[in-house]
Structures are given as C-alpha cells and as structure tokens.
Amino acid sequence: MKKKILLCSILCLLFLIAGCSAAEKNTGKNETATQPAAENWNTEKGIRELSAALTEKMSLEEKIGQMMFVGIHGTTLTEETKSVLSSMHVGGVILFDRNMEKREQVQALNASVQSLKLNGFSIPLFLSVDQEGGLVTRMKHDAYTAPSAAEIGKGKPEDAYRHANKTGIDIKELGFNLDFAPVLDTGNRMRGRTYGATPPQVALFGEQACRGLRDSGVLFTIKHFPGMGRSETDPHTEKSVVNVSRETILQEDLQPFRQIIDQYPHDQFMVMAGHIRYPAFDTKPASLSPVILKDLLRNQLGYRGVVITDDLNMGAVSEGYSPEEIGIIAIQAGSDILLSCHDPQIQQRTYKSVVQAVKDGKISQSEINASVQRILYCKLKNLMSTQQRKAVYEQIKTNSVTSK
C-alpha cells in the first residue's frame, strides 16, 4: 500500500513539473514573439533590420534631416539656433573655433545640442570637429594639439597612433563622437596636412592614425577622396583641378583610402568626398560626380559606409551652383550627407530643395532610403547602447511615435 502511495506521489510530482515546464516554455515563446531579448540588438542582423524599420517609419522631412550636417553660430545654444536645427531635423552638427571658448563651455554646448529632440525616435546626432593637428586644430589654447601630419610623418608610424589616440580621447571628453580626420591625401602642397609625398608613407601613417582614433572611441573620417594632394589651388576659395591619368589616381592616390576601406568595418568611419575635379574621370568635382562616388568608391572599391561631402560652401563648388542645386546634385551623385558649415539660410535652402526634389521625383525614394539606412545603422551601432536600440524598437512596434 505504501509503495502504491509513493508511486502515485511521484507520478503527481512529475506531472506538476512537466506542466510547469510547459507553461514556462509557452510563456517564453510568447515573450519572444512580442518582447525580443535585448541581446538581439547586439547582432549585425538585428541592427540592420532596425535601421531599415526606422527608415520606413520616418517622414521624408526627418529622412532628409538625417542627411544634413551643419555648422552653427555662437557659444551657447540659442532659441534661434534651436529653431533652425529643428526646422531641418538635422542629423549632425560641426563646431568651429567660433563656437569654442573653453572646455566646460564646449561640453555644455555639445550636451545642449545632443539633448534636442530633432526626430521622433531619439536618434542621437553626429557631433563633429576638424581636429587634424597642426594647422587644423580647434581651440588650441585649451585642447590637445597634435603636431602636423607632416611633422608626424618624419617620425615613426606609432607616433601617428599616439597623437590620434590622444586627440580622440580629448575630443570625446569634450562631447564629440566624430572627428573629420585623418587626411589621407598624398603630397606636400597642403601646408603640412599630409603624412608624406608617397602613397606607402601616407598609407602607413594614415592607418595608424585611423586606429588611434578608433581605439579612443570616436568615429573617424578619411578625406579628401579620391585625394587632393596634387591640387595646386585651395578648394576653399577656388576651383581645383588635378590633371593626371586615371591609372595614376588608381595606383597611387587611392592607395591609402583603399587600405582603410579594406581593413576596417565600414560603420566605423566616413569617407569625405573632396571638391577637386579629375578630368580623367569626370568634369564635375568629386563630391558631385557619380563616376567617382558610385562607380569608383561604391562599385570598384566596395565601400558600403557613409559618404559625406566636404563643406558645400567652399569656392570650388559654390561658384556655378546655387544652394538649391548643389544638394540635389550631390545626392544624385551618391553622397549620403550634405555638409554645410556656415550660413543658416543656405542650409535651409539646400534642405528644402532636396525635400522638394524627392517629392517631384528628381531624387528617388530608394536612394534616400539607402542613404538614411547607412546613417542610422552607423548611429545605432556606434552611438547607442543595446537598451537604447531596444527602446527604439519598442517605439516602432507599438506605433507610439507617429511621423509628422
């Protein structure tokens, strides 16, 4: 009798355990279907799917905003500046010496800009500075100032790593997440901004600089594609032309760029297109040339990351193109982000013209979506935590955000 009672007890216990396990499994399945585990947003596939879903949910105005990278005026965030940035839903801001007085002030300004709600999904902004070292150094009196690339190039490659890493750590402390450096142009005509006059020298030192910035925790930018070291004029003020053969550009000038594109994940850096004209490829400046950006950079070199123009207010491109024209042409050519550094009115004219061009069918929705997905993937991957990415997913899933 006792054996029968014991047997019945064991069977009942096993039944209860099995029932509990089944219930747990069912609950797990339901939770997985409606509440994905946070670690899903650490995977490449999950982040790419999220960037695509986010792009689909954004309004056209928000999408074009992600493609705008602008300079502002003043050392504090004024109501006027807030209005300008909000009107364009901008995706990135660059600071210059005009914005930078001392460290605490720059930190506060960057924090204020980053806190703005410029889109419905709390996607962070790219906050950038041109911190190359030497001649091109912002706030020299209160920031780390690396030697010029030319000076570094006289030493050892590890010097390029050390100075770039210190620069990255310093600007990250100031609130920046992106450096518009290093320069990978080959030549000695750029007032000390290049690592040397030969492609192997620039490739060797440039790769170390990229690694140093990457290891500091900031994104970096290789510029000025496909190389402007041979230019005899300054593209900031006038048209610049490089009259060499296609083979020379492919075999020499592109070598440093190709090395970084081949070695680094494409979400860790941007490629900045210069405004130099290369008749061997196209009559248009590189930043406005589909031959250079689509055929050469995308198709031949296989670059899948974000392409940004150099400042569209520079004389090399601003002469001959209106603000309404230049943004459209740059996007049609293959640029993902339009950099406009100085005049708020010009920035808004460019922004509005691109929005209208999409509505009129001059720029395809598919092109815009491809660019925005690249931008959002980079931000989701590098500027946001797992929990922040999951929160964006929850917003999309529950339709708690309505695009305007």
- Tell me what the mean pLDDT of segment 190-194 comes to: 93
Q: Strands, E, within 252-305: which ranges? A: 269-273
pLDDT of residue 336: 98
Phi first, then psi: give them for residue 70, nearest 5 degrees.
Answer: -130, 155
d(CA 282, CA 261): 22
Q: Which of 94, 209, 221, 237 is nearest to 148 (CA)?
A: 209
* Residue among 138, 133, 141, 216 at smallest CA distance from 177: 216
163 assigned to active site: no
Nearest to 352 by CA among 65, 108, 148: 65
Spatial contact of 220 and 172, defined as CB atoms under 8 Å apart: no
pLDDT of residue 235: 57
Look at 205 and 9; give whichever has higher pLDDT: 205
Answer whether residue 23 shows pLDDT above 60. Answer: no
Lowest mean pLDDT among 90-99, 197-206, 308-317, 380-389: 308-317
**Over pLDDT 90: what percentage of the chain?**
77
Contacts of 147 (CB under 8 A, 6+ apart): 133, 134, 163
Per cent of the chain over pLDDT 70 is 87
Comparing CA positions, the residue from 172, 103, 90 lying closest to residue 131 is 172
As a whole number, mean pLDDT of residues 174-201 equals: 95
In the predicted structure, residue 92 carries a pLDDT above the cut 60:
yes
pLDDT score for 188: 86
Return the pLDDT at 17. 40
Residue 95 is given by DSSP the state E
Give the least confident one: 221-230, 234-243, 250-259.
Answer: 234-243
* Mean pLDDT of the residues in the chain: 89
For residue 224, say if its preceding peptide bond is cis, omega within 30 degrees of 0.
yes
Asked whether the predicted pLDDT for residue 234 surpasses 90, the reply is no
Q: Is 368 helix (H, G, I), strand (E, B) or coil?
A: helix
- What distance in Å separates the CA atoms of residue 337 and residue 354, rounded to the nearest whole number? 12
Mean pLDDT across 259-284: 96
List pLDDT tens digits, range 32-43: 333 445 457 778
Kindly state the average pLDDT of the residues 332-349: 97
pLDDT digits (tens, 9 = 90+) for 126-140: 999 999 999 999 999
**What is the maximum span of the chain, computed from C-alpha positions, in angstroms?**
105
pLDDT band at 26 (very low <50, low <70, confident <90, very high): very low
Q: Is the pLDDT at 98 greater than 50, yes or no?
A: yes
**Cα-based angle 166, 148, 305 (whole degrees, multiple of 5):** 65
What 14-23 contacts at long range (C-beta under 8 Å, 24+ apart), as own/partner pairs, is none
- Using the predicted structure, report yes or no on whether residue 25 has a pLDDT greater than 90: no
The verdict on whether 310 is a catalytic residue reads yes
**Between these two residues, 402 and 146, which has the higher pLDDT value?**
146
Residue among 236, 253, 262, 336 flagged as catalytic: 236
13 pLDDT higher than 70: no
pLDDT in tens, 306-329: 999 999 998 767 677 899 999 999
- The Cα 337–Cα 353 span in angstroms is 15
**pLDDT(20) > 50:** no
For residue 189, pLDDT over 90 is answered with no
Choose, from 185, 310, 311, 336, the residue flagged as catalytic.
310
- Asked whether residue 56 carries a pLDDT value surpassing 60, the answer given is yes
| Rounded Cα distance, 212 and 216, in Å | 6
Higher pLDDT, residue 242 or 337: 337
Q: What is the pLDDT of residues 107-166, one digit of tens each?
A: 999 999 999 999 989 899 999 999 999 999 999 999 999 999 999 999 999 999 999 999
In order of their start, the domains of the chain are: 62-397 (3.20.20.300)
Give the Cα separation of 299 and 90 in Å (integer): 28
pLDDT exceeds 50 at position 287? yes
Average pLDDT (382-397) is 90
Q: Give pTM, 2 decimals.
A: 0.88
Question: What pLDDT shows up at residue 232?
Answer: 66
